[in-house]
Amino acid sequence: MMRTRPLKVALLGCGVVGSEVARIMTTHADDLAQRVGAPVELAGIAVRRTGRVRAGVPEELITTDATALVKRGDIDVVVEVIGGIEPARTLITTAFEHGAGVVSANKALLAQDGAALHAAAERHGADLYYEAAVAGAIPLVRPLRESLAGDKVNRVLGIVNGTTNFILDRMDSSGAGYSEALDEATALGYAEADPTADVEGFDAAAKAAILAGIAFHTRVRLDDVYREGMTEVTASDFASAKEMGCTIKLLAICERAADGQSVTARVHPAMIPLSHPLASVREAYNAVFVEAEAAGQLMFYGPGAGGSPTASAVLGDLVAVCRNKLAESTGPGESAYTRLPVSPMGDVVTRYHISLDVADKPGVLAQVATVFAEHGVSIDTVRQQGKDGEASLVVVTHRAADAALSATVEALRKLETVRGVASIMRVEGE
């Protein structure tokens, strides 16, 4: 039997995502009520400033006093889509203190202060759900947190930023340079006016921190994630990748160490074989590849950003939190029982593609090979081309620790016959 008294929802933020959440709640009110078991009523919408036309959003619900809204006492669920650290953090904790569950899409806040937010939610017997914080409409947080709760996840490898994937896809398919591809992404609305958070990997790093924490049942903060942007990727790098049967993607990689005693989380450009499922992810789509002990290899694919896809994930969480409210229960909270340390990037073991500018004369290859051997880095393949006294040397290594490779490169720079290091890129997905 359906309860007649409605569950009241406060919406914080009414931009691209928030306005779509409000629209769906209004137009699909009857369906939401059936799925929850009670009417779900949008009780108020907090915005920074009034006066802006918001199509389909009831004007009478708009307020600029977000604090008063979450303190009302009759609010059952707060949906936070304003982003940033403050005032989002204070508003969320205030919502918990006043008995409301929270649905958030705030990856930056969760990556930085997720542990404190989970603790506050537990302290007040409230829910904290955040499916929309990681990969838009793609169901990923809940499968990791619930569907795979009985399994052991060893690796999460994914494309979690649509802007960077669009840019790299254009560079790969059309031969465009980075600046040209970025301009196209901006014109199409895929890139912000200031694309720094995307192209420098900050957005993906926040998502990697959240994914690693859930997958490995340990606390991983944004500061624990190694981050490298993709602004230095060139058309020459793509040409080298194609010669290896690879393409280049900006990847978020979370791994459990082979001995199970630590984890790593990193974001950086990498070459991946064209045979890998992630290589075929085009345009602004996201995809995450999960490797679990019992389930094996799983891939989650779909639109990772945008108003409608992100709102879909928000509404899914809203239904879950509302159901929990009716049942007077809460869903899964933070699981950090393993307390595994996060290893530094220097300990990460992977393959490398190194392009060197060298003098075109006898003995150069031998000198370079000696430096690799002295630092314990084994060479898989090497290719040399040159004329008129100049040459390029492309080396692909077997798996080596990042620290050993860094020491090797520094030693190579000191050789008189090495004119410069043109590029260094990791090779993943094998």
Active site residues: 207
Query: Cβ of 230: how many Cβ atoms within 10 Å?
Result: 25
Q: Give all strands (DSSP E) within 18-82, no chain letters.
A: 40-46, 62-63, 77-80
Give Cα 281 to chain centroid, integer Å: 15
Total residue count of the chain as it appears in this document: 430
Residues 6+ apart with CB under 8 A from 298: 143, 289, 290, 291, 292
* C-alpha–C-alpha distance, residues 204 and 404, integer Å: 26
* C-alpha–C-alpha distance, residues 38 and 32, integer Å: 8
Give Cα 173 to chain centroid, integer Å: 24
Q: Which residue has the tokens 């002990």?
A: 293
* C-alpha–C-alpha distance, residues 264 and 155, integer Å: 10
* C-alpha–C-alpha distance, residues 299 and 104, integer Å: 24
Q: Pick from 326, 286, 16: which is nearest to 169 by CA?
A: 286
Give the three-class secondary structure for 130.
coil
Q: Pick from 237, 262, 257, 260: which is nearest to 247 by CA?
A: 237
Residue 87: asked if its preceding bond is cis (omega within 30°), the reply is yes
* C-alpha–C-alpha distance, residues 416 and 116, integer Å: 53
Phi, psi (deg, nearest 5) at residue 134: -110, -55
Phi, psi (deg, nearest 5) at residue 160: -120, 15
